Amino acid sequence: MESTFPVFDPASPQAESIRDLFVHVLLISAGIFAIVSGLICVALYRFRVTEKLPVQDFGSHKREIAWMAGPVIIVVWIAAISIKLILTINALPTQYVKGATAEQDGVDIVVTGHQWWWEIEYPASGIVTANEIHIPTGKKLRVALRSEDVIHCFWVAQLTRKMDAIPGHENFVWLEADKPGTYQGRCAEYCGTQHAWMNFLVIAHDPDDFAAWQQREKQTSTPPTEKLASDGAALFMKLTCSQCHAVAGTDAKEDFAPDLTHLASRAQLGAGVIKNTPDNLRTWLANPQAVKPGCKMPNFKLKDEQLDQLVAYLETLR
């Protein structure tokens, strides 16, 4: 799934131009490296220790001007092509008016960084999910980036530039994918103990599949009918799960922790730390601190029976 060198495997026009700039600068640097190391080798050979000193050369205006002008031209050139690219790919907050809602600003997705997971909201449809961004292909989406705690950095190497998510300040980025697929996203700014496990997936669908996903995602949960699962649903409310999490259609409405409305349909748990399987979900519930030390989910020291009930319930959240 994940590309070994995602920057070299772009899947959006934006990522492609970033790759091109990177290769451009890399070639210039490689050229300079080759010239400098070549000259060092020549000097080492020609002026190796011999009987007599080489001819001493004190100053040359022409050469001094040349070695000043050369680097200046190169630096100005690199700055020019970088600024041009930044201006092309940036989603500037031009229409953003203080106090305007996300919809008014034409925001398609609001992404909020938390230690250590991502909250994903679609203002138009009211869908809320976590650590998984579903998008239709071929559409340039405006993403607003926010943070609830410290500075995080949103980065999908195959699709976007990096952009910080800063508390109290909204940033924007364009998100677009050429073809359907799953793209790895990461937090690219050190943000505490579990920075390394603050991953997310961008799942790009054909527009029809995306519409179907939206339809499923809009449905709220229905109370489970099966005994084990319905005991789990009661336990979920009785324990303090509902004081941090939300499950649409129930009394659990908090947004301190990931929204669990469609938890069982997601690919990963704990912002990418483990795959989302019933066994892994059980391991996670049994002791989240063992799976992701430092995460905000406490160890509830659940009994085996309680684990069975909770897993049965959470697996109904599709």
Residue 145 or 317: the one with the smaller Cβ distance to ligand CUA is 145
Q: Shortest gap between Cβ of 146 and ligand CUA (angstroms)?
A: 13
307, 252 contact by CB (below 8 A): no
The interface region with ligand CUA, picked from 47-55, 155-163, 187-195, 250-258 by CB under 6 A, is 187-195
Q: Shortest gap between Cβ of 190 and ligand CUA (angstroms)?
A: 6
198, 130 contact by CB (below 8 A): no
Q: Shortest gap between Cβ of 118 and ligand CUA (angstroms)?
A: 9
Residue among 189, 217, 259, 315 that touches ligand CUA (CB under 6 A): 189
Residue among 198, 201, 247, 260 that touches ligand CUA (CB under 6 A): 198
Number of residues that bind ligand CUA (CB under 6 A): 9
The interface region with ligand CUA, picked from 24-32, 37-45, 183-191, 224-232 by CB under 6 A, is 183-191
The interface region with ligand CUA, picked from 30-38, 99-107, 173-181, 186-194 by CB under 6 A, is 186-194
Residue among 146, 152, 245, 266 that touches ligand CUA (CB under 6 A): 152
Asked whether the CA dihedral 222, 227, 231, 232 is positive or negative, the reply is: negative
Report the site for ligand CUA in 96-125 (rule: CB under 6 A): 113, 116
Residue 116 or 210: the one with the smaller Cβ distance to ligand CUA is 116
191 belongs to the binding site for ligand CUA (CB under 6 A): yes
The interface region with ligand CUA, picked from 100-108, 184-192, 215-223, 297-305 by CB under 6 A, is 184-192
Of 119, 70, 168, nearest to 296 (Cα)? Answer: 119
Distance in angstroms (rounded) separating the CA atoms of residues 107 and 293: 34
294 belongs to the binding site for ligand CUA (CB under 6 A): no
187 belongs to the binding site for ligand CUA (CB under 6 A): yes
Query: Site residues (CB under 6 A) for ligand CUA?
Result: 113, 116, 152, 187, 189-191, 195, 198
